Each structure stands twice: as structure tokens, then as C-alpha cells.
């Protein structure tokens, strides 16, 4: 067993431990912290594989943007309703049966297959510099598409907030009319 | 079992845990986080195949999936905020009356 395999196993265990903890933690903030642990373990796995640029994106975009946004939402919505007191839906037993079945089938399929072995690849192929040059040289259209997608998402999020504001204004106008 | 097989098994388990979490948990925000976990599981398998093939295009595809995930969460969270403002609860069962 090489040192790379040991590190990959440790980070894999970390990722799985975070995912399992997400099931049992009650407060959404703790669930978010467990998910952040899983994401950081995955970033370490990417770095161990030599995919440095993906490891950087994982930390910057997922942990730095997506999860921070999620934590803001959790802080805004500290609702202590039935979703807080009762963690699981009535689908718990069926869901766990499905979990065991799916994990069994997927891992059995992997164990039956031939071991996958990586070919010899140039070492710097996934370094930030090489990736950046290839990205802006060959894949610049996808970069532009990603920028357009983010712009559309921003407009959609603004539209959702505007719908809420208009709904509140309408409700306030109705209340005023009723009071008169 | 090679390293790649180990990572593919982890990827499958993360995806399955995420799927089951979406089904069994009762909090809209936690369900969104399990969706992210499913996406992370799929991304891990994509990373393994990118590594095996040494393909730059795989890394570009992963970057695009990261952007899609960011866009998805930017739209999903305001919708959840909107729902909670209207219904005062994070329990998806309370919104069973929504018919589009």
C-alpha cells in the first residue's frame, strides 16, 4: 500500500463521515458544517490526484461561495417548526432500504469490474497555468457561456426577490383598504 | 482494488447518501444541502475519469458544473426564502397544496 493510497483512504473516510453526520445532525447549521467538511475532504482528494485546479475551484466556489450563501440563508431562517423537532419524514424506512440496496448494487458492480489503472500522463497537465492557457485558448466559448449563465441566475434571483416585494406591497394595500 | 475503484465507490456512496437524504429529511435547506452532496458525488467520479484519461476537457466540464451549482443555489435559496415568508415553515409537507 503506497502513501498516496493511505492519504486517499483517509480523505475518503473524512468525506463519508461528513456525509453520514449530515443525516443525524438536527440543526441546519451543523449539517452545513458537516457538508463543508465533506467538500474540503473532496478538495484534498482532487489535490492528491494532481487535479490542483479543480481542488482550488472546489474550495473557492463550493466552500467559499455556495456554502457561505447557504449559511446566510440558515441564519436568516431560524425557524423552529416541525422540520426542526422531527428530523425525518415518514419515508425513513423506505429511504434506508433504498440506501442499502443502491450502495450494495453500486459497490458490487465496482468490485466485479477490472481494476482501473491510470496511464502515464504529463505531470503539469492539470496545473493552474496549463489549465488557464488551454481554457482561454480552446474552451473560451464555454467560459463565455458560464458568464451568461451566472448573469441569467442573478437576474432570476432578483426577479424572485421582486415578486416577494410586490406581494408584500399588495398585501399591505389590502390591509389598509380593509382597515378603512 | 485500485485507487480509482476506491474513489468511484466513495462517489457512489456519496451520491446514494445524498439521494436518500433528500427523501428522508424534513427541512428544505437540509434537502438543498443533500442535493449539493449528490452533485459532489457525481463530480468525484468525473474527477476520477478526468485523471484516468488525462483529459483537460474533463477539468473544463467540472468548472462548468461548479458554475451551474453556484447558479442553482443562487436561484434555489431565494425561492426557499419566498416560500418560508409565505408559509412560515421549512417543512416541505406544508407546501403539498402547491399546484404550480
CA distance B38 to chain A (A): 10
List, for residues B40-66, the tens digit of each pLDDT value: 999 999 999 988 888 888 888 898 899
Domain with residues A1-122, CATH architecture: Up-down Bundle (1.20)
Instruction: List domains and CATH numbers for chain B.
Output: 3-94 (1.10.287.3510)
Nearest CA in chain A to B90: A83
Q: Mean pLDDT throughout B13-41?
A: 92
Asked whether the beta carbons of residue A77 and residue B71 sit closer than 8 angstroms, the reply is no
Q: Mean pLDDT throughout B73-88?
A: 85
Of B20, B54, B62, the CB nearest to A121: B54
Mean pLDDT by 10 residues, chain A (180 residues): 87 95 90 95 92 90 90 84 76 84 80 69 72 84 87 86 73 77
Q: Find which of A24, A29, A89 to mutate to test the B interface (most B CBs within 10 Å of its CB).
A: A89
HSE value, Cβ hemisphere, 13 Å, CA-based, for A177: 6
Q: Which residues contact A89 (CB under 8 A, 6 or more apart)?
A: B23, B24, B25, B26, B93
Sequence spans of domains, chain A: 1-122, 127-180
**What's the CA gap between B64 and B45, in Å, rounded?**
15
B32 CB neighbours in chain A (<8 A) are: 70
Query: What's the pLDDT at A139?
Result: 85
Nearest CA in chain A to B35: A35
Q: Find which of A20, A58, A59, A62 to mutate to test the B interface (most B CBs within 10 Å of its CB).
A: A62
Nearest in space to A58 (alpha carbons), one of A173, A30, A49: A49
Query: What's the pLDDT at A104?
Result: 84
Query: What's the pLDDT at B31?
Result: 92
Asked whether the beta carbons of residue A16 and residue B10 sit closer than 8 angstroms, the reply is yes
Query: What's the pLDDT at A43?
Result: 95
Put simply, the chain B residues between 45 and 74 with a CB less than 8 A from any chain A CB are 47-48, 50-52, 54, 56-57, 59-60, 62-64, 66-74
CA distance B51 to chain A (A): 7
Asked if A47 contacts A55 with a C-beta cutoff of 8 angstroms, the reply is yes
Query: What's the pLDDT at A122?
Result: 62
Query: What's the pLDDT at A121?
Result: 61
Amino acid at each position: 500500500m503506497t502513501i498516496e493510497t493511505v492519504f486517499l483512504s483517509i480523505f475518503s473516510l473524512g468525506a463519508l463521515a461528513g456525509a453520514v453526520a449530515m443525516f443525524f445532525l438536527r440543526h441546519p447549521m451543523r449539517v452545513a458544517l458537516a457538508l463543508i467538511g465533506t467538500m474540503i475532504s473532496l478538495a484534498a482528494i482532487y489535490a492528491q490526484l494532481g487535479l490542483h485546479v479543480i481542488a482550488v475551484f472546489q474550495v473557492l466556489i463550493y466552500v467559499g461561495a455556495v456554502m457561505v450563501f447557504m449559511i446566510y440563508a440558515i441564519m436568516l431562517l431560524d425557524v423552529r417548526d416541525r422540520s426542526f423537532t422531527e428530523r425525518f419524514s415518514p419515508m425513513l424506512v423506505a429511504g434506508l432500504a433504498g440506501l442499502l440496496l443502491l450502495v450494495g448494487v453500486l459497490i458490487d458492480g465496482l468490485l466485479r469490474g477490472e481494476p482501473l489503472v491510470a496511464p502515464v500522463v504529463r505531470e503539469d497537465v492539470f496545473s493552474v497555468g496549463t489549465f488557464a492557457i488551454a481554457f482561454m485558448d480552446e474552451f473560451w466559448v464555454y467560459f463565455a457561456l458560464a458568464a451568461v449563465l451566472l448573469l441569467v441566475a442573478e437576474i432570476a434571483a432578483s426577479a424572485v426577490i421582486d415578486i416577494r416585494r410586490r406581494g408584500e406591497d399588495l398585501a399591505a394595500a389590502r390591509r389598509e383598504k380593509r382597515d378603512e | 482494488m485500485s485507487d480509482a475503484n476506491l474513489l468511484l465507490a466513495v462517489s457512489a456512496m456519496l451520491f446514494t447518501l445524498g439521494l436518500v437524504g433528500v427523501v428522508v429529511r424534513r427541512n428544505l435547506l437540509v434537502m438543498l444541502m443533500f442535493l449539493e452532496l449528490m452533485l459532489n458525488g457525481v463530480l468525484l467520479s468525473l474527477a476520477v475519469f478526468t485523471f484516468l484519461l488525462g483529459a483537460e476537457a474533463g477539468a473544463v466540464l467540472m468548472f462548468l458544473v461548479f458554475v451551474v451549482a453556484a447558479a442553482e443555489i443562487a436561484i434555489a435559496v431565494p425561492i426557499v426564502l419566498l416560500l418560508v415568508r409565505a408559509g412560515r415553515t421549512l417543512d416541505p409537507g406544508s407546501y403539498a397544496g402547491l399546484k404550480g
